[in-house]
Structure 1
Amino acid sequence: MVGATLGCLLAKQGCRVAIVEPYVPAPFSLNDAYGLRVSAISRASQHALMQAGAWSFITDLRMTPYEAMCVWDATGHGEIHFSAADIGEPDLGAIIENQVIQAGLSQAMDSYDNLAFLAPVSVDACHYAESQIAVELSSGKTVTTALLVGADGAYSKVRTLAGIDVQKNDYNQKGLVAVVRTEKAHQLTAWQRFMPSGPLAFLPLNEGKSSIVWTLPADKADYYLAMSDDAFNVAITAAFDQRLGNVRVVSQRVAFPLMGQQAEHYIAEGIALVGDAAHTIHPLAGQGVNLGIKDAVALAEVFVSAKKVDNSPFSLKALRRYERARRGDNVLTQKAMEGFKLLFGNTFIPLQFARNMGLSAVNKVIPVKNEIMRRAMGL
């Protein structure tokens, strides 16, 4: 998603772009079941997707704007509510399946004559010389380019080829995802309950359904995966404190390992990293994709500004501006998410009390709460 967004943004600026994808994407149909992986797309990310030419295609498919958010602590009475109406906005963002975002971006890519999509093709090797990087592809072809962007995920081959080290933090947790139907309406609200074992989020979808993301210790996630649907329904209803009544799973359940990582550098000669190739964070705030799209926007902006000055918009000097613009923000967000994880995972009674008091206090300080909303939306 991040690589396609960047590709469209650069193609819009007149760059010749080739997007290399190791798998042929499956075509999307509105008759398809809801995907298990969704993203909470901020207003800033929506604007970026609009600039890339993908947003109108996405809205023509399916998405669910959410108007409010409710967060509470399972160990006490601390609770905080956010409402878009409080800051004069129609919504806080939109819950969109990753497969829908990808389908919208695919349609956008088709609209650019200067953008080629190569699949199934992967990068085998690369060599930098004389301000150009030669990229050897699995198809047997070699492409020469001014910039190779690694948008190839947490296990980035491009990052490895560039010799960029990465700092890793294995959380020993898994994110269990599924689609559920709730007895009570979700009210276009994103719900999140913090428990010592990890947060449980219910993200609103259409047709009265919700996407759940349940962060659990790895062994506990495996335990819940092995349950029958009926047993899981009882467990998830209890874990969510019956906030939306009885919960019934309507999809398969899948769990994926969680880890945080940060590339020590985002750039090398002729190479830049974006999205999960550069950083991954804990999913408790749902900011992973939004951070990646911020990377794409920043790199595209560096190209535009550098092109006005000289004919080397992807020089190492220009790329350093991208790294300075994004790495600090991403590191800060990662540390904040890990801090939240430690804070809400702590069972020390005085800390639990302080945590609940803090949530309740912030809920009453309207200017602070409104500023939190604006920042989360990217306004």
Structure 2
Amino acid sequence: MQQYDIAIVGGGMVGLSAALAIRAVADLRVAVIEPKPITELSAEPCLRVSAINDASENLLRQLGVWSLITQQRHQAYRHMHVWDKDGIGKLDFSVADGPHLSKEKNDIGHIIENDVIRKALWHKVEQDSGIELINDTITNMAMGESEVFISLAKQGALLSKLLVAADGANSWVRQQLELPLTFRDYDHHAIVATVNVEHGHQDTAWQVFLDTGPLALLPLFERNSCSIVWSLPPEQAAQMMALDPAEFDKRISAASDGKLGLVTLSSERVSFPLTMRLNRSFVKQRAIFIGDAAHTIHPLAGQGVNLGFVDVAAFAQTLEAILQDNAELNDNKAWQKFSRWRKSDAVEMMAAMEAIKQGFAMQAKLPKFIRGIGMSMLNQIKPLKQLMLKHAMGQRSDLPPLCHYKQDL
């Protein structure tokens, strides 16, 4: 029976980065259990993308992955334009407005396909002899006093001193351990697709607030290509999904006020419900929860995966402290501290997303001229805009060491 120090359930972006982060701070034997092996990138962009901020970029740099990503498809954005549909209110952010952590920093963030990030992480993990990738499905697990027993569908069983659950929003591990969950339906569905934009994306992340919810157009690696995330009430999302492509093109071009010219579909459309989930605790027995297995938030500001990457860095920092103290890997006091830390950060992010969402909902009840004046006044307050941009870029002093800037390793 194979034995490991740490077994990670889930080989997505967060799970794979966790494996590399563990190896960056400790010479431990790690297993990553993932039923879906990596596949070659398709010629067309992946529908699911992430807005990678400074903190996540710095983590990926220190894990030696950022250079692999930037050799593939990615797009830096240097501006953000947020506006109120059919009103005069707008907010403009530029990289020139923000603080910078390095001389080479000349962007606010990067829009990168999830598959591109995962492929780079997978490649790096394959090169590490201390990590074993196990393409299999877990059929059962049991928590012992000193180890976790894991049964696999094809490859028998394995033992691990600690288990990391990075298996997504519908975490199988969370269900098995019957971990209490705070749950809220946002009563919105997100439509995602790739579109062509007539006037090009202009290295800008665009977001318009409509009465029905926000529409984001995120720049992709081709100058006339964007990824859309359109948040709508379920009934309206279903109606939009049922439209033929030509009619959908008209609707999205109108919704974006023609700021990017004619917008046309270049991919299929996919819709999924938006739900807030928060584990009551991020730790139970020998299991540690990170990423979407611990929390999911509204995609309003594209912070979901960034929050997961900070989980990874915080996990590595906690693990390193445990080993330096010569404590057991299952040090309850240390992991409970980690749980409080990461839960507090997730709650703060959820509250911020809710405040933005409710703020625009309240503004929608005001006359358009009045709410437009309010946004335009905010657009002129440079210190407040700098603060907002700093948070969006993930530039915080309280982040774990792996989230601070260093040259790519």
TM-score (ref. length: structure 1): 0.95
Report how far residue 129 of structure 1 moved.
2.1
DSSP 3-state at the match of 1:130: coil
Report how far residue 321 of structure 1 moved.
2.0
- Write the distance in 2 (CA, Å) between the matches of 1:312 and 1:104: 32
Contact kept? 1:151, 1:277, Cα under 8 Å:
yes
- One of 6, 9, 14 as aligned partner of 1:2: 14
Contact kept? 1:38, 1:95, Cα under 8 Å:
yes
The alignment status of 1:15 with 2:15, answered yes or no, reads no
DSSP 3-state at the match of 1:49: helix
- Write the distance in 1 (CA, Å) between the matches of 2:161 and 2:342: 21
Residue equivalent to 2:56: 45
1:113-152 matched pairs, under 5 angstroms: 113-119=129-135, 121-139=136-154, 141-152=156-167
- Which is worse superposed, 256-265 or 308-317? 308-317
Moved over 4 A (4+): 351-355
Residue equivalent to 1:27: 40
Contact kept? 2:363, 2:371, Cα under 8 Å:
no
Report how far residue 346 of structure 1 moved.
4.1
Residue equivalent to 2:73: 62
Contact kept? 1:303, 1:314, Cα under 8 Å:
no
1:65-104 matched pairs, under 5 angstroms: 65-74=76-85, 76-87=87-98, 89-104=105-120
Q: Which amino acid aligns with 2:265?
A: V
Report how far residue 353 of structure 1 moved.
6.1
Name the structure, 1 or 2, with higher relative contact order (CA <8 Å, separation 6+): 2
1:1-379 matched pairs, under 5 angstroms: 1-12=13-24, 13-28=26-41, 32-74=43-85, 76-87=87-98, 89-119=105-135, 121-139=136-154, 141-207=156-222, 208-346=224-362, 349-350=365-366, 355-379=371-395
- Write the distance in 1 (CA, Å) between the matches of 2:137 and 2:60: 25
Report how far residue 206 of structure 1 moved.
1.9
- Write the distance in 2 (CA, Å) between the matches of 1:86 and 1:172: 35
Contact kept? 1:38, 1:211, Cα under 8 Å:
yes
Contact kept? 2:162, 2:329, Cα under 8 Å:
no
- Write the distance in 2 (CA, Å) between the matches of 1:160 and 1:177: 28
TM-score (ref. length: structure 2): 0.88
Contact kept? 1:131, 1:315, Cα under 8 Å:
no
Distance 1:357 1:122, change over 3 A: farther
- Write the distance in 1 (CA, Å) between the matches of 2:146 and 2:159: 10
Q: Which amino acid aligns with 2:279?
A: A
Report how far residue 339 of structure 1 moved.
2.6
RMSD across aligned C-alpha pairs, in angstroms?
1.6
Distance 1:343 1:106, change over 3 A: same
DSSP 3-state at the match of 2:278: strand
Report how far residue 214 of structure 1 moved.
0.4
- Write the distance in 1 (CA, Å) between the matches of 2:367 and 2:131: 53
1:4-43 CA distance string (max 9 Å, x none): 11011112322211111122232226xx211111000001
Residue equivalent to 2:406: none
DSSP 3-state at the match of 1:350: coil
Report how far residue 314 of structure 1 moved.
3.3
DSSP 3-state at the match of 2:141: strand
Residue equivalent to 2:7: none
Contact kept? 2:292, 2:308, Cα under 8 Å:
yes
Report how far residue 323 of structure 1 moved.
0.8
1:203-255 CA distance string (max 9 Å, x none): 00122211111001112111111111111111110011111111111111111
DSSP 3-state at the match of 1:245: coil
Report how far residue 127 of structure 1 moved.
1.9
- Which is worse superposed, 73-82 or 327-336? 73-82
Contact kept? 1:123, 1:157, Cα under 8 Å:
no
DSSP 3-state at the match of 2:215: strand
Identity of aligned residues (%): 38
- Which is worse superposed, 336-345 or 359-368? 336-345
Report how far residue 338 of structure 1 moved.
2.1
DSSP 3-state at the match of 2:366: helix
- Write the distance in 1 (CA, Å) between the matches of 2:368 and 2:139: 50
Q: Which amino acid aligns with 1:74?
A: K
Report how far residue 75 of structure 1 moved.
5.2
